[in-house]
Amino acid sequence: MRIAKLQGCVVGLLAVAGIAIPALAQPDPEPRPVHIDECASSGDHLGISRVVEIDTKGGPHFGGSQGGHNSFLEPGEVLLTFDDGPMRSHTRAVLKALADQCTKATFFMVGRMAVAAPDMVKEVADAGHTVGSHTWSHKNLGILGVTRGRQEVEAAVSAVSAAGGKPISPFFRYPYLSGSKTVDAYTRTRDIATFWIDVDSKDYTTRDPNSVIRRVMAQLEQKGKGIILMHDIQVSTVRALPRLLDELHAKGYRVVHAVPKSDLSTVAEFDAIAEKALAAKADKTRVSKLADRAVTWAADPEPVEGQRHHPKSVKRAVPPAKPTSSEALPWGTTPAAKAKKPSKPAHSELPWQSTIFGY
């Protein structure tokens, strides 16, 4: 569906590269057509050099030492990836920078962020980018058991799918790049591919775009190719991206667009949870809009593009509603979770992720 949205195609290209992609062992008799439009192939922009369709059967791992250096990238090729979003104020600027260069990326979305900004999930998907998942609440799966790990994985898959209104890719990235053998075992049964990284922008450590650009280009120069990690919730990346993409183009790097052979199905019990969380968010939005009208129009809850939210101004205008159990912990509250709630704001009100998230 995503691919079919690309109109005016002049190049029909299906490229499957990399000896480790399971698709090679199981040829698809009817590969779906993959197109690169004229803007992406003209050479005037960074564009896309090829589309790699990935068969995720068996839950392969890609990139980095944790991924066994298993790569579908050729020398000079990069995969652009953005974690932790979507966040309207920042993700929209990222989408614009990518569109200006007619190029595509993969977004590993956090379930709670998707519930907080479902329209942004749709915008990312409608722009033709690949949407994967990054757990429900950015927990460190390396220290969780398999039950909680499964909940984090599945709640995110259901939430991002429901927010976007269509299935997502079976592409997954661990928060903090902290893997778990038990979660690995589970994602393999679900045919979910795990993406590690080759180039780390470390955009969360700085607000300086030059630092992001220097770091990415230096690592690429050393490695010659790779999966690049950025965060669409980080202002440094928002500021760096237009120049970084220019520089990638100028240096002759080529962008690969990774798409899945098959979309990811969801698990019914988590679909119900996701729908509940989205409904709670919609209710809260309605209440907030009414409160805005009644209380004040002075505080703009929609932050200026490229700037961080200003939580205090939003809080003054609309006191956060008490979080529902479905938002706090989608698979049900626990005494520990209940005890923590009073000291923490509702996730949909504040961009706490931008300061807490590392990877």
Give the DSSP letter of residue 286.
Answer: H
Assess 84 for contact with Zn ion (CB under 5 A).
yes
- Closest approach, Cβ 170 to Zn ion, in A, equals 18
Assess 154 for contact with Zn ion (CB under 5 A).
no
Q: How many CA atoms lie within 13 A of 24 on its CB side?
A: 10
Contacts of 13 (CB under 8 A, 6+ apart): 34, 35, 36, 50, 51
Query: Which residue number, 101 or 234, has a Cβ lying nearer to Zn ion?
Result: 234
Q: Which stretch binds Zn ion (CB under 5 A): 42-50, 82-90, 304-312, 321-329?
A: 82-90
The CB-nearest residue to Zn ion is: 83
Q: How many CA atoms lie within 13 A of 192 on its CB side?
A: 28
- Closest approach, Cβ 174 to Zn ion, in A, equals 8
Does the bond joining 86 to the residue before it have cis omega, within 30 degrees of 0?
yes
Neighbours of 346 (CB within 10 A): 20
Distances (CA, A) of 299 to 292, 315, 333: 9, 9, 33
Q: Which stretch binds Zn ion (CB under 5 A): 75-83, 91-99, 237-245, 334-342?
A: 75-83
Give the DSSP letter of residue 128.
Answer: T
Q: Are 195 and 106 in contact (CB under 8 A)?
A: yes
Query: Which residue number, 71 or 81, has a Cβ lying nearer to Zn ion?
Result: 81
Query: Which residue number, 172 or 357, has a Cβ lying nearer to Zn ion?
Result: 357
Assess 83 for contact with Zn ion (CB under 5 A).
yes
The C-alpha atoms of residue 56 and residue 23 are separated, in whole angstroms, by 8
- Closest approach, Cβ 268 to Zn ion, in A, equals 27
Position among 164, 167, 175, 351 found at the interface with Zn ion (CB under 5 A): 175
Query: Which residue number, 84 or 154, has a Cβ lying nearer to Zn ion?
Result: 84
The C-alpha atoms of residue 134 and residue 136 are separated, in whole angstroms, by 7
At position 293, the amino acid (one-letter code) is R
Assess 55 for contact with Zn ion (CB under 5 A).
no
With contacts defined by CB under 5 A, how many residues of the chain interact with Zn ion? 5
Pairing between strand 35-37 and 9-12?
antiparallel
Assess 204 for contact with Zn ion (CB under 5 A).
no
Query: Which residue number, 171 or 253, has a Cβ lying nearer to Zn ion?
Result: 171
- Closest approach, Cβ 64 to Zn ion, in A, equals 15
- Closest approach, Cβ 356 to Zn ion, in A, equals 10
Assess 174 for contact with Zn ion (CB under 5 A).
no
- Closest approach, Cβ 138 to Zn ion, in A, equals 6
Distances (CA, A) of 184 to 72, 75, 216, 261, 291: 20, 28, 28, 20, 45
Dihedral through CA 342, CA 141, CA 264, CA 261, nearest 10?
A: 140
Q: Which of 255, 251, 228, 262 is nearest to 51 (CA)?
A: 255
Query: Which residue number, 39 or 238, has a Cβ lying nearer to Zn ion?
Result: 238
Neighbours of 144 (CB within 10 A): 18
Query: Which residue number, 175 or 351, has a Cβ lying nearer to Zn ion?
Result: 175
Q: Which stretch binds Zn ion (CB under 5 A): 171-179, 260-268, 289-297, 335-343?
A: 171-179
Query: Which residue number, 82 or 253, has a Cβ lying nearer to Zn ion?
Result: 82
Query: Which residue number, 109 or 248, has a Cβ lying nearer to Zn ion?
Result: 109
The C-alpha atoms of residue 39 and residue 323 are separated, in whole angstroms, by 45
- Closest approach, Cβ 93 to Zn ion, in A, equals 19
Q: Which stretch binds Zn ion (CB under 5 A): 77-85, 88-96, 97-105, 152-160?
A: 77-85
Site for Zn ion, rule CB under 5 A = 83-84, 175, 357, 359
